[in-house]
Amino acid sequence: MPDKAPGQGDGAVGSILTLVFQSVDRLSNKEYMPPSTLKIIDAILSTTVASIKDAMLFGIRMNDELEHHTEANDTIHLVGFSATPLISIQLTPMQGTIFQNPFYLLSHQMSAEFHQCTPLIPARQSYFARYCKKHISRTWGVVDVSLESLFPYPQVHFRRRPSGCVVQEVGNRGSKVTWIEHVEVDSRSFHPIFHPIVSSGFAFSAKRWIATINRHCQWLTTSMARTAPTADGVLKPQEGRESLLKLAEKMTKNFFNNINSCSENVWSGLPQNFAAQDVRLRYRNILKVPGKPSSNIVIFTTSTHIPFSMEVLFDFLRHERTRNRSSPNKIEILYLQESYTDETGSYIVYAPMDIMAMSKILNGGNPRFVSILPSGFSIMPDKAPGQGDGAVGSILTLAFQRVDRLSNKEYMPPSTLKIIDAIFSTTVASIKDAMLFGIRY
């Protein structure tokens, strides 16, 4: 997935970007986009060949996010491209189509929040127009341009310059996708541990969006396959495989929606007299179930630096033998786990499962009716590839959920805070000790 500076792409990409940028030029001139004191992160192109037809991929980018959600106040929660929570986005269509002409040029006015897998990186709020254009046969373009000047905030911490993607069919191989991200951002508003990857543009880069496309294509290929591997331990029936994939997707979306910095998630910190550092916590209500008392879920998360590569840390954390290594009181619990890694980031998400519920899923049951309470890990590099000297380490984000009937929106008892502090202090210390002293499974 090579990265290129704008203008270094092939002729078709440059041509369609020029055409679409001309269409939005009236919104990006000085009248609509006045000078800003925000730091400009240079536009970077990233490309990939995705194993999915151009029309389907184009629908993911434009239609699925808009045409099926047309109410003015309807909010769409997306995690990457439906399955990959490396970057999440919450989109709100505002006033529908601005204009449409016979040359396949569409425009939608939208607002969005862009998140990362941690509350320590603030959400990026943006108003923009999304333009869609069919250039030639089997070549499409989608470009977003900022409208902050039309919807002013007292303080603007993020502005999206013309950004988007070009999708070209490349025969039976699928589609070639070229992505460009060009933003202005306030680099003072996030935690120092994430400063290198955010200020460099890597955290929300074109390369990470390309990674979400590849991951989504893998998910689609697996879910739609008519045959399955026959190795021991791999699910064979298609109905059970589809249900399990959907349950895993539900679990992963739940996990990352719960720990991001969207405006709906109100976070607080631990008091200073606790040992664990940079902890963020919040609560959410459990829906009342007839015949059962209502209760709350406490969600707590922190991020820490690990002086090992993402690959080494990922391999260590995803293995079941590294969990509860030597507890004399350990009990057997059935867990569902999904893990994924690429060069831009990794995650391991897991949740305890009821055996009867899992049995129904494996026989094609509906995952919508399965309650799930996920916890897990998200891993990012501590700096962008090629940035600075020395080896690339990792930023590990840990997040857990627990039922706590004593907590509410206004109050968390000291006993709950002590439990959270103990969990993070011991877990982070155990992981670092295991990595530093070479403990392996």
Domain CATH number, residue 252? 3.30.530
CB 45 within 8 A of CB 180: yes
The distance from CA 251 to its chain's CA centroid, rounded to whole angstroms, is 13
Q: Looking at the 3D structure of the chain, how many domains does it have?
A: 2
CB 360 within 8 A of CB 272: no
Of 224, 256, 284, which residue sits at a domain end?
224
**Does residue 441 form part of some domain?**
no
Residue 81 shares a structural domain with residue 116: yes
- Which residues constitute the domain of residue 315? 238-436
pLDDT of residue 210: 82
Of 174, 193, 224, which residue sits at a domain end?
224
Q: How many helices (H) and strands (E) does the chain have?
A: 10, 17
Residue 73 shares a structural domain with residue 210: yes
CB 184 within 8 A of CB 38: yes
Would you tell me the crossing angle of helices 206-224 and 238-259 to the nearest 10 degrees? Answer: 150
CATH value at residue 60: 3.30.530.20
Q: What is the rounded CA–CA span in Å between residue 396 and residue 394?
A: 6
Residue 244 shares a structural domain with residue 390: yes
Residue 296 shares a structural domain with residue 370: yes
Residue 210 shares a structural domain with residue 172: yes
Residue 147 shares a structural domain with residue 264: no
Residue 293 shares a structural domain with residue 407: yes
pLDDT of residue 380: 93
Of 224, 248, 267, which residue sits at a domain end?
224
**Does residue 229 form part of some domain?**
no
**Does residue 40 form part of some domain?**
yes
Residue 199 shares a structural domain with residue 257: no
CB 349 within 8 A of CB 252: yes
Residue 246 shares a structural domain with residue 218: no
Per-residue DSSP letter, 62: I
pLDDT of residue 437: 79
pLDDT of residue 193: 92
Per-residue DSSP letter, 59: I
Residue 256 shares a structural domain with residue 191: no
Pairing mode, strands 280-285 and 88-100:
unpaired
What parts of the chain have a pLDDT lower than 70?
Answer: 1-107, 149-156, 173, 187, 226-236, 287-295, 323-330, 387-391, 439-441
pLDDT of residue 234: 55
Residue 257 shares a structural domain with residue 116: no
Residue 263 shares a structural domain with residue 383: yes
